[in-house]
Amino acid sequence: MNQTPPLFMQVGDKQIGDPPRSIAYRARLASASGANRPGGVWLGGFRSDMLSTKAARLDEEAAAQGRAFLRFDYSGHGESGGLFEDGTIGAWLEESLAMIRAQTSGPQILVGSSMGGWIALLAARALAQAGEADRLAGLLLIAPAVDFTQALLWPKLPPAARRDLEQKGVWLRPSAYSPQPIPITARLIEEGRQNLLMGAPIRAYCPVHILQGMHDPDVPYTHALHLVEHMAEDPVAITLIKDGDHRLSREEDIARLLGAYQALA
């Protein structure tokens, strides 16, 4: 599929935080038929990008309905600038909030895939704390890897990996999705601890729908159920897909995704 070239926006201020990063994005504007309906924002997963199957299909759905839709790549991902190993949850959250505020208007459905589910909940909290809860029309979370650095990654690290993190500051983790290993940095894990959500009530400030595969080797479905237990104050629906994996990119999975997105709109 041919893709239009991305646009770019600078995010970050080296005087107060991480250095500026060049963030690639594609923003679909609403037409008259969809101008009064919520827009959508894609928040991708760890090492994923805005050209993924799910992001592209959601963008196509938005186009068919005349609705706005924003896709972007975190720094160190896809077409954006920066090095992946320099990234942290806090930096990717900063980029997400900057893109939402600069490139969208009105209520939005935040669609968070895997790590993007964690980012979506952190963004919802930040928007609400800033008095911008009216920007939240809904959260659609796909295999949400909330707190994954601490809850899912850290407990499974082999002794050799912990030694590499302590002595070298990085561990090259083999990937089931790429021939290249994934650099996991000590900074990613340490900074992730500053953004943990589990262990206290979690608010989304809007309706939430979670899609979770029960054959997910990366984010166990019990993790998604544990998340729901933390979200007592918001309306939350969860769809457990008995034979679903982590990616949930089969046609039947995409149909569920588009149906859940429509329901939130």
- Residue tagged active-site, from 147, 216, 218, 253: 216
143: left (phi over 0), alpha (psi -120 to 50) or beta: left
Continuous segment of H or E residues that includes residue 40: strand 39-43
Q: Return d(Cα 226, Cα 151) in angstroms, integer.
A: 11
Task: Tell me which of 13 and 126 has the higher pLDDT.
Answer: 126
Residue 100 has pLDDT above 60, yes or no: yes
pLDDT at 248 over 70: yes
Q: Which two tokens stand for residue 140?
A: 């659609």
Flag the least confident range among 4-18, 37-51, 132-146, 217-231. 4-18
- In percent, the amount of the chain with pLDDT more than 70 equals 98
Rounded Cα gap, residues 38 and 198, in angstroms: 28
8 Å CB contact between 116 and 59:
no
- How far from each other are the two terminal CA atoms of the chain, in whole angstroms? 27
Per DSSP, the three-state class of 4 is: coil
Catalytic residue among 49, 96, 246, 253: 246
**230 a catalytic residue:** no
Does 216 qualify as catalytic in the annotation?
Answer: yes
Angle subtended by helix axes 115-129 and 89-103, to nearest 10: 60
| Band of residue 27 on the pLDDT scale cut at 50, 70, 90 | very high
Q: Binning pLDDT at 50, 70 and 90, where does residue 17 land?
A: low
The first and second tokens of residue 186, run together, are: 């000590």
| Alpha carbon of residue 239 to chain centroid | 18
> What is the structure's pLDDT at 136?
98
**CATH for 7-146+196-264, among 3.90.25.10, 3.20.20.150, 3.40.50.720, 3.40.50.1820?**
3.40.50.1820
For residue 22, name the pLDDT band (cuts at 50, 70, 90): very high
How large is the C-alpha radius of gyration of the chain? 18
Is 179's pLDDT higher than 90? no
Phi, psi of 134 (to 5 degrees): -70, -10
Q: Which amino acid is at 11?
A: V
How far apart, in whole angstroms, are the C-alpha atoms of residue 112 and residue 145?
9
Token pair of 40 as six digits = 């959508």
Catalytic residue among 59, 114, 164, 218: 114
Residue type, 204: A
In which residue are the tokens 């991480």 written? 18
**Mean pLDDT, residues 47-62 taken together:** 97
Arithmetic mean of pLDDT, 209-237:
98
Mean pLDDT of 142-152: 98
3-class DSSP assignment, residue 183 = strand
Strand partners, 112: 43, 141
- How much is the pLDDT for 13? 74
Tell me how far apart the alpha carbons of residues 153 and 151 are, in angstroms, rounded to a whole number: 6
Sequence ranges of the domains in the chain: 7-146+196-264
- Residue 39's SS3 state is strand
Count of other CB atoms within 10 angstroms of residue 193: 12
Q: Is 246 a catalytic residue?
A: yes
